[in-house]
Amino acid sequence: MPPRVPLSVPLRLLQRLGVFVASVVVASLLVFLVASALPGNVAQVVLGVQATPEAVARLEQEFGLDRPWPVRYGAWFAGLLRFDLGRSYLTGQPVLDQVLPRLGVTSWLVGLAMVLALLVAVPLGMWAAVRRRHADGFLASALSQVGLAVPSFWLGILASLVFAVQLGWFPANGYVPLSAGFGPWARHLVLPVVALSAVQSAVLARYVRSATVEVLHEDYYRTARAGGWRTVQALLRHGLRNMSLSVVTVVGLQLATLLAGAIIIESVFALPGLGRLLLDAVAQRDLMVVQGVVLLLVVAVLAINALVDMSYALLDPRLRIERGQVR
């Protein structure tokens, strides 16, 4: 069989972009099919059980639910291309209008949690690797093992118990937009971000640890040490960049988990984010909102992962586009 000929850099980027677009189409179809092809009658839900069959039929027609599903999917997808996520069945409001004001909360929560997780995980994981034959390194490993087993929302509950309820340092719940001032905004975000990032730090720290152990066995690390760099200097100067490839991959893949975690953390701390919107929509069976927001989150994850893959070209001059080994 002929070996695959490696493509040039722009072609590879273009190919990755194509994969991303195809993924979005497939993902949207998947979301649509689950939300619309399964039994359940939106019109009936909206009108309540007492509604007459005629009224239900009329509403179905109004929503366009009497059309076959491929037509409905086509209409929905065409809307997506114009940044139109459809209209809520319940309120008739465009879904996007409900999404936009909540986007900020979730973005801040997820973004800050990821940054904090990296700030904790990279030193912790490197420490655990370098000192792996000593008690303190073992402790760092054990800490991340424990962190991996703790549900983030439990941490959130305990954190609000201690720091909000008992000590009163931070508000126990709620959100204030950044425009209302940095102090109040930050105070409302501290506990949710910390709770969300704790588990993430544990996950990342384990990857950083194993990536660091790998670097410690690399020939170039030995060369750097023979050149006069001390252990930690050699790791930072020559290991970090090499490690960043696999760590960035994991960060991309973890984003999906982080978004899922954000949904529940928003619930614990009553933050008015996308998670809250989703759960309210689920409770009201507002399928159009659920469908739109779920797809939005999935596309965000797919987009970040596409960017991660493309960023390999920047991080690794050899431009290996294959993903790091991921468990």
Partner 1 sequence: MTPLLQVSDLRVSFGRPRREVLHGISFSIAPGQRVGLIGESGSGKSVTALAVLGLLSETAAVTGSIRLAVPDGDGPTGRQLEVTTATEKQLAALRGDAYSMIFQEPMTALDPTMKVGRQVGELLGLHGHRIPGGSRSRVLEMLREVDLPEVGRIADSYPHQLSGGQRQRVLIAMALVNDPVLTICDEPTTALDVTAQAKVLQVLDRHFTQRSAATLFITHDLAVLAGVVDVAMVMLEGHVVEAGPIREVLADPWHPYTKGLVATSRLELARPGERLPTVADHFDRSIPVQGLREVPVSWEHRARVPGRPGGGA
Partner 2 sequence: MKRAALVIGLVLVAGTVLTALLSLAWTPYDPLAVVPANRLMGPGPGHWLGTDGYGIDLLSRIMVGARIAVLVGVVAVAIAALVGVPLGILAGTAAKAERWPRLVADVVMRGNDILYAFPAMLLAILLAAVLGGSTATAMIAIGVANIPPFLRVARAATLQVSVSDFVTAARGAGIGRFGIAVRHVLPNIAPVVAVQASLAFGMSILSEAALSYLGLSTPLPTPTWGRMLNEAQPYAWSDPLLAVWPGLAIGLAVLGFNLLGDGLRDLLDPRLRESVQ
Question: Are 110 and 195 a contacting pair, CB within 8 Å?
Answer: no
- Out of 247, 271, 281, 308, the only residue in the binding site for partner 2 (CB under 8 A) is 281
Name the burial class of residue 181, with classes exposed (0-12), middle (13-18) and buried (19+) by CB atoms within 10 angstroms of its CB. Answer: exposed
Determine the interface stretch with partner 1 among 19-27, 87-95, 146-154, 237-245 (rule: CB under 8 A): 237-245
Q: CA 15 to CA 197: how far, in whole Å?
A: 33
- Out of 5, 38, 167, 226, the only residue in the binding site for partner 2 (CB under 8 A) is 38
List the single partner that 263 binds among partner 2, partner 1, none, CB under 5 to 8 Å by kind.
Answer: partner 2
Subset of residues 239 to 278 that bind partner 1, contact rule: CB under 8 A: 241-242
Subset of residues 217 to 236 that bind partner 1, contact rule: CB under 8 A: 218-220, 222-231, 233
- Counting contacts by CB under 8 A, is residue 13 touching partner 2? no
List the single partner that 158 binds among partner 2, partner 1, none, CB under 5 to 8 Å by kind.
Answer: partner 2
- Out of 138, 169, 182, 220, the only residue in the binding site for partner 2 (CB under 8 A) is 138
Which residue, 15 or 93, has its beta carbon nearer to partner 2? 15
Q: CA 262 to CA 270: how far, in whole Å?
A: 11
Q: How far is the CB of 228 from partner 1 (least distance, A)?
A: 3
Q: CA 2 to CA 16: how far, in whole Å?
A: 22
Q: CA 156 to CA 64: how far, in whole Å?
A: 42
Taking alpha carbons only, the member of 215, 304, 296, 212 closest to residue 254 is 304
Q: How far is the CB of 159 from partner 1 (least distance, A)?
A: 37
- Counting contacts by CB under 8 A, is residue 244 touching partner 2? no
- Counting contacts by CB under 8 A, is residue 85 touching partner 2? no
| CA dist 249 → 208, 292, 294 (Å) | 12, 27, 22
DSSP-assigned beta bridge partners for residue 94: 87
Three-class DSSP category at 241:
helix
